[in-house]
């Protein structure tokens, strides 16, 4: 996970951090008995956590924001001062959270956000006007440098002290600050655009996917239109996997407890699994992962090195318990289908397989119009090698193969020290959408744990048994989440090849219906997804409806078109291409599909 804390050298950082201090001052004036916790600058703003006698209301925020503008106008300088422990304890005697931070800084050399500090522990404060905060800075020189027209408080949320659910729940005020009012305006516009593209809104408006209170939280229902899209995505996925040297497998949704005992899931992942069901006196669990099943297939016969590599893929539907507060539309659900695969290979094949998987994944994702990626290489924490399964040599080889693949393709990546899971290093690929937001999709991870636990072997050239390498990978991640990302990326206006309805035929009057049906039939025979608007609406309303549904092509047919055997094309982007023959339209649409164009 990338740090939400903004880089300290960003010029906006000190501005926002200073705004957080000003906000804290305003809050403490309103609630003199309030306790302050921490208040950093974040990616697009800042926040500060408080322990207050009562919940904050939107009106409180308005008042606090107004007071902030006054404080800014008062023009206080930010004054830095290093202090010793005794002074610190005295200054913050009635601020227990600050005292805890002071103790941590001195004891562990971590800063106020729990991150290790460079150099010897040192305590410093920043003071502006009457407000003093334990703080390393940096800050602007004077509150006047904060533009009062470019600051806005956004929301209040609960947040545990130090992110620990056993600690007190604090109130966090989020705000944003920019250099100019124009930048603030742009940020607010951006937020509005984000809201407009919210997949939770669009899957409802476009009749794609629903959730049901009666059916249970976090469980998605795919409607026919989304079903069409999913079939296209799955067919494309299968085709590419078969071309890419994968075999497709299918495995059960439930498995006996001993399977999950062997895999270690019941030891390490039980909280994520649903309660077992009793079948003939045996406990069965619904699967949270597909791996043990693929391993069962592997173990169903003796495997020779000549058989390797094996690449087995499955659109495997899994169910995981996610805490209620974490559910979020399609992005975080309790039941989802992974485009999962496991690669079993010899140590000598690892490099090839990793490179191949990386290429395969990027190619697949590019097919959906994603061009920008954020790639993370997660490796072990070198300080705690005992926390990891698998021999050092394997970790080193695995990591080398991942690095080599990334470098072979000259891909920029971020090395995440200590972010590897205990069973192996991994590469994660996040795709960047049209609004620049990164979404986790692909994960390619080594697994040094399961081959051991299941005692997987293959017979080598030497006639002896060897342990295969196992790589677990999901490229789209979960179909549910990927679908949600697609909806947000395109704002519901999908490229033609994905659009549930590619062309809407709009008869001007009822007497044109027969021709509309004929035309639709020809188009369907050519493989296009076409609907005829048979409502009693006027043409204008029919166009509007198609437009609102983001149908790529609208084909108006009336007397003139019937006469000429044509359709009159209007595109979703408002371009009126005019009349053309049915065959010409079919060719045009087929080309857009083949090239995966937007229109």
Partner RNA sequence: GCCCACGUAGCUCAGUCGGUAGAGCACACCCUUGGUAAGGGUGUGGCCAUGGGUUCAAAUCCCAUCGUGGGCUCCA
Known catalytic residues are 291, 320, 338, 340, 342, 426, 472
Q: At what angle do helices 479-490 and 224-243 cross, to 10 degrees?
A: 110
What are the phi and psi torsion angles at 138 (to 5°)? -85, 170
> Over 262-323, what HEC string results?
HHCHHHHCHHHCCCCEEECCEEEEECCCCHHHHHHHHCCCCCEHHHCCEEEEEEEEEECCCC
**Joined tokens for residue 105:** 């800084």
From 84-92, 347-355, 519-527, 551-559, span contacting RNA (CB under 7 A): 551-559
Q: How far is the CB of 509 from RNA (least distance, A)?
A: 2
Contact 64, 27 (CB under 8 A): yes
Contact 130, 25 (CB under 8 A): yes
From candidates 3, 155, 372, 581, binder to RNA by CB under 7 A: 155
From candidates 188, 403, 539, 598, binder to RNA by CB under 7 A: 539
Using CB atoms within 10 A of its CB, is residue 342 exposed (0-12), middle (13-18) or buried (19+)? buried
Angstrom distance (rounded) from CA 599 to CA 586: 13
Q: How far is the CB of 325 from RNA (least distance, A)?
A: 2
Q: Is 477 in the site for RNA (CB under 7 A)?
A: no
Neighbouring C-beta atoms of residue 201, cutoff 10 Å: 15
From candidates 196, 409, 511, 524, binder to RNA by CB under 7 A: 511
Q: How far is the CB of 56 from RNA (least distance, A)?
A: 7
What is the torsional sign of CA 317, 319, 320, 325? positive
Using CB atoms within 10 A of its CB, is residue 453 exposed (0-12), middle (13-18) or buried (19+)? middle
Q: Is 537 in the site for RNA (CB under 7 A)?
A: yes
From 180-188, 345-353, 502-510, 580-588, span contacting RNA (CB under 7 A): 502-510
CA angle 100, 32, 34 (to 5 degrees): 40
Q: Is 196 in the site for RNA (CB under 7 A)?
A: no
Q: Is 544 in the site for RNA (CB under 7 A)?
A: yes
Q: Is 541 in the site for RNA (CB under 7 A)?
A: yes
Angstrom distance (rounded) from CA 27 to CA 237: 54
Complex with RNA: residue 190 or 422, whichever CB lies closer: 422
Candidates 135, 146, 141, 6; CA nearest to 81 is 135
Q: How far is the CB of 235 from RNA (least distance, A)?
A: 28
Q: How far is the CB of 491 from RNA (least distance, A)?
A: 12
Complex with RNA: residue 124 or 440, whichever CB lies closer: 440
Candidates 300, 446, 469; CA nearest to 380 is 446
List CB contacts of 353: < 8 A, sequence separation 6 or more: 309, 343, 345, 471
From 62-70, 90-98, 205-213, 308-316, span contacting RNA (CB under 7 A): 205-213
Contact 346, 458 (CB under 8 A): yes
Q: Is 579 in the site for RNA (CB under 7 A)?
A: yes
From candidates 258, 326, 372, 521, binder to RNA by CB under 7 A: 326
String of contacts with RNA for each residue 418-437, x by CB under 7 A: ---xxx--------------
Q: How far is the CB of 145 from RNA (least distance, A)?
A: 27
Q: Is 80 in the site for RNA (CB under 7 A)?
A: no
SS3 label, residue 166: coil
Q: How far is the CB of 272 from RNA (least distance, A)?
A: 6
Q: Is 268 in the site for RNA (CB under 7 A)?
A: yes
Complex with RNA: residue 160 or 305, whichever CB lies closer: 160
Complex with RNA: residue 289 or 593, whichever CB lies closer: 289
Complex with RNA: residue 133 or 376, whichever CB lies closer: 376
Candidates 141, 145, 112; CA nearest to 128 is 141
Angstrom distance (rounded) from CA 591 to CA 235: 19
Q: Is 3 in the site for RNA (CB under 7 A)?
A: no
Q: Is 548 in the site for RNA (CB under 7 A)?
A: yes
Residues in the interface with RNA (CB under 7 A) total: 70
Provide the H-helix boundaries in 31-83.
58-74
CA angle 241, 242, 248 (to 5 degrees): 80
Site for RNA in 108-137 (CB under 7 A): none
Q: Is 328 in the site for RNA (CB under 7 A)?
A: yes
From candidates 59, 84, 213, 412, binder to RNA by CB under 7 A: 213
From 116-124, 149-157, 358-366, 390-398, span contacting RNA (CB under 7 A): 149-157
From 89-97, 132-140, 336-344, 554-562, span contacting RNA (CB under 7 A): 554-562
From 63-71, 359-367, 503-511, 515-523, span contacting RNA (CB under 7 A): 503-511
Neighbouring C-beta atoms of residue 533, cutoff 10 Å: 21
**Joined tokens for residue 490:** 């395109």
From candidates 554, 582, 586, 589, binder to RNA by CB under 7 A: 554
E strands in 402-489: 414-417, 426-432, 438-446, 458-459, 465-466, 469-478
Complex with RNA: residue 131 or 174, whichever CB lies closer: 174
String of contacts with RNA for each residue 356-395, x by CB under 7 A: ----------------------------------------
Q: Is 164 in the site for RNA (CB under 7 A)?
A: yes
Q: Is 39 in the site for RNA (CB under 7 A)?
A: no
Complex with RNA: residue 127 or 334, whichever CB lies closer: 334
SS3 label, residue 505: strand
Using CB atoms within 10 A of its CB, is residue 218 exposed (0-12), middle (13-18) or buried (19+)? buried
Please report, as ranges, the residues that interact with RNA according to CB under 7 A: 1, 4, 55, 155-160, 163-165, 169, 171-172, 174, 200, 204-205, 211, 213, 216-218, 263-265, 268-269, 272, 288-289, 322-329, 332, 421-423, 508-511, 535-541, 543-544, 547-548, 554, 556, 558-561, 568, 570, 574, 576, 579
């Amino acid at each position: 996970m990338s740090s939400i804390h903004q880089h300290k050298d960003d010029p906006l950082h000190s501005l926002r951090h200073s705004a957080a201090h000003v906000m804290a001052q305003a809050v403490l004036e309103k609630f003199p008995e309030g306790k302050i916790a921490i208040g950093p600058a974040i990616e697009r703003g800042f926040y500060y956590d408080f322990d207050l006698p009562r919940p904050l209301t939107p009106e409180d925020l308005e008042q606090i924001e107004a007071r902030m503008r006054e404080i800014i106008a008062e023009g206080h300088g930010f004054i830095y001062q290093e202090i010793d422990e005794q002074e610190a304890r005295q200054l913050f005697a009635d601020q227990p959270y600050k005292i805890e931070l002071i103790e941590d800084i001195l004891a562990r050399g971590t800063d106020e956000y729990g991150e290790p500090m460079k150099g010897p522990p040192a305590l410093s404060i920043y003071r502006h006007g009457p407000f003093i905060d334990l703080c390393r800075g940096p800050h602007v020189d004077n509150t006047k440098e904060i533009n009062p027209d470019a600051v806005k408080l956004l929301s209040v949320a609960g947040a545990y002290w130090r992110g620990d659910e056993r600690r007190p729940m604090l109130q966090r005020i989020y705000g944003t600050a920019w250099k100019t009012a124009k930048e603030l305006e742009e940020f607010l516009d951006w937020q509005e655009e984000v809201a407009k593209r919210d997949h939770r809104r669009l899957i409802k408006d476009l009749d794609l996917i629903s959730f049901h209170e009666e059916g249970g939280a976090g469980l998605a229902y795919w409607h026919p239109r989304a079903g069409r899209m999913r079939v296209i995505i799955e067919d494309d996925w299968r085709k590419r996997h078969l071309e890419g040297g994968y075999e497709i497998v299918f495995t059960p949704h439930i498995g006996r407890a001993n399977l999950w005992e062997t895999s270690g899931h019941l030891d390490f992942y039980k909280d994520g699994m649903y309660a077992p069901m009793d079948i003939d006196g045996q406990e069965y669990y619904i699967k949270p992962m597909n791996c043990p099943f693929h391993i069962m297939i592997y173990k169903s016969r003796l495997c020779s090195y000549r058989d390797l590599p094996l690449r087995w893929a499955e659109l495997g539907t899994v169910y995981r318990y996610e805490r209620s507060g974490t559910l979020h539309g399609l992005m975080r659900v309790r039941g989802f289908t992974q485009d999962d695969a496991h690669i079993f290979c010899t140590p000598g094949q690892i490099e090839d397989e990793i490179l191949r998987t990386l290429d395969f994944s990027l190619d697949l994702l590019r097919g959906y119009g994603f061009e920008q990626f954020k790639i993370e290489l997660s490796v072990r924490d070198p300080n705690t090698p005992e926390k990891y399964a698998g021999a050092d040599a394997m970790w080193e080889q695995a990591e080398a193969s991942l690095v080599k693949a990334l470098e072979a393709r000259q891909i920029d990546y971020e090395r995440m020290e200590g972010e590897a899971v205990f069973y192996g290093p991994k590469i994660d690929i996040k795709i960047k959408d049209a609004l620049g937001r990164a979404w986790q999709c692909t994960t390619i991870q080594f697994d040094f744990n399961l081959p051991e636990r299941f005692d997987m072997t293959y017979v080598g050239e030497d006639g002896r048994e060897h342990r295969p390498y196992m790589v677990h990978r999901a490229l789209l991640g979960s179909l549910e989440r990927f679908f949600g990302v697609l909806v947000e990326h395109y704002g519901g206006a999908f490229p033609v090849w994905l659009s549930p309805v590619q062309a809407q035929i709009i008869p001007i009057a009822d007497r044109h219906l027969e021709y509309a049906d004929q035309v639709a039939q020809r188009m369907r025979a050519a493989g296009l997804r076409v609907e005829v608007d048979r409502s009693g609406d006027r043409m204008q309303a029919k166009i509007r409806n198609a437009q609102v549904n983001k149908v790529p092509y609208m084909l108006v047919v009336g007397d003139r078109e019937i006469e000429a055997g044509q359709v009159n094309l209007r595109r979703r982007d408002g371009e009126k291409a005019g009349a053309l023959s049915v065959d010409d339209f079919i060719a045009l649409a087929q080309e857009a599909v083949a090239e995966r164009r937007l229109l």
